[in-house]
Amino acid sequence: MDTDSKLNLIKQVGEEIINEEELKQLLETKENPIAYDGFEPSGRIHIAQGILRAINVNKLTKAGVKFKFWVADWFALMNNKMGGDLEKIKVTGKYFIEVWKACGMDLENVEFLWASDVMNDTDYWLKVLSIARLNTVTRITRCAQIMGRSEGESLSAAQIFYPCMQCADIFHLEADIAQLGQDQRKVNVLAREVAPKLGYKKPIVISHHMLMGLTEPPKNDLTGADAAIAKKMSKSNPDSAIFMTDAADEIKRKINKAYCPEKEIVDNPILEYCKFLVFEKFDELKIERPEKWGGNMLFKSYSELEDAFGKGDLHPADLKQAVSHYVNEMVKPVREHFENDADAKKLLEQVQSFEVTR
């Protein structure tokens, strides 16, 4: 694959790239660049963390990128996830990895690494302290949204370390690319700011799209990454997300209940599912409906679907019925894996019990 082809593939992932010229130069000079993403193991994994993450990773690995997943167990501990119980966090991390194994992620070019494995590494902590020394507390707290916190929210002393450690992760893993969601943009920019001061190469930032929650998006004046964060799906509201082991009838119930106003193509979560999930996994989307309502429809691209919906040629109820089917087809292999594999089933049962007790 030539450089332009690789670049075009990666641009399908990057809703924002800082910056594109640096990325092109990287692709021209390094056959297998290293990309990194970190995730806090917390609760059940939803479709954005599962299917969408696998789609994006596979595009990067197809372009020759080697991917390092940082299982951020100690970060989840600092952020008080799973009640601050590190053993529960570790079990949940293993469950996340098991989901990705079952949903089609290209694991040949993916490496899973655990944050806890470097907590005794003096070199790692020197990086953390060097970053902390270069920044004020005010500058660090501007990155609070990477923890799911607002900038004005009161942070624990442990959470102040979080952005410094996440910056250190990028350098410690020798990542060329920080490939995370828009909600992590601020800390990735921080890493670019401090990199030359510490003698490191600036990481290229490739921020992927944040899939909307299924509920009506909040009304506000936010723009860019802040707006995306406000609209993203939330585990605290189960009806806003499809989880990777949801039953078919549960998927149908959530999709039928989802926000999808007629003819509205902006901030419409059902259309988002079509654009970022359905047309990434399937060659077409078929609408089945009686002849008296116009008969069946077949869409070969998202643009065709969006055009028909915007004109009112396709009713939300008919679209939801189709999307329920396609989403279930995506989730089904994962659900069956956790039903039929004894070890995977045990992991899921443990994670579900944590959600009840925490």
Three-state SS annotation for the chain? CCHHHHHHHHHCCEEEEECHHHHHHHHHHCCCCEEEEEECCCCCCECHHHHHHHHHHHHHHHCCCEEEEEECHHHHHHCCHHHHCHHHHHHHHHHHHHHHHHCCCCHHHEEEEEHHHHCCCHHHHHHHHHHHHCCCHHHHHCCHHHHCCCCCCCCCHHHHHHHHHHHHHHHHCCCCEEEEEHHHHHHHHHHHHHHHHHCCCCCEEEEECCCECCCCCCCCCCCHHHHHHHHECCCCCHHHCCECCCCHHHHHHHHHHCCCCCCCCCCCHHHHHHHHHHHHHCCCEEECCCHHHCCCEEECCHHHHHHHHHHCCCCHHHHHHHHHHHHHHHHHHHHHHHHHCHHHHHHHHHHHHHHHHC
**Quick one: average pLDDT of 301-307?**
97
Confidence label for 191 from pLDDT (cuts 50, 70 and 90): very high
**Quick one: average pLDDT of 204-219?**
93
Mean pLDDT estimate for the chain: 92
Contacts of 66 (CB under 8 A, 6+ apart): 32, 33, 34, 35, 109, 111
Digit-coded pLDDT (tens) for 69-102: 999 999 899 888 888 999 999 999 999 999 999 9
**Other beta carbons within 10 Å of 196:** 10
Return the structure tokens found at 92.
């949940």
Digit-coded pLDDT (tens) for 106-146: 899 999 999 999 999 999 999 999 999 999 998 888 887 77
Q: Is the pLDDT of residue 341 over 60?
A: yes
Can you identify the CATH homologous superfamily of domain 3-208?
Answer: HUPs (3.40.50.620)
Q: CA 72, CA 36: separation in Å to the nearest integer?
A: 12
**Quick one: average pLDDT of 347-351?**
94
Contacts of 253 (CB under 8 A, 6+ apart): none
**Quick one: average pLDDT of 187-214?**
96
Domain locations in the chain as residue ranges = 3-208, 224-357
pLDDT score, position 249 = 97
pLDDT score, position 79 = 86
Can you identify the CATH homologous superfamily of domain 224-357?
Answer: Tyrosyl-Transfer RNA Synthetase (1.10.240.10)
pLDDT score, position 358 = 38
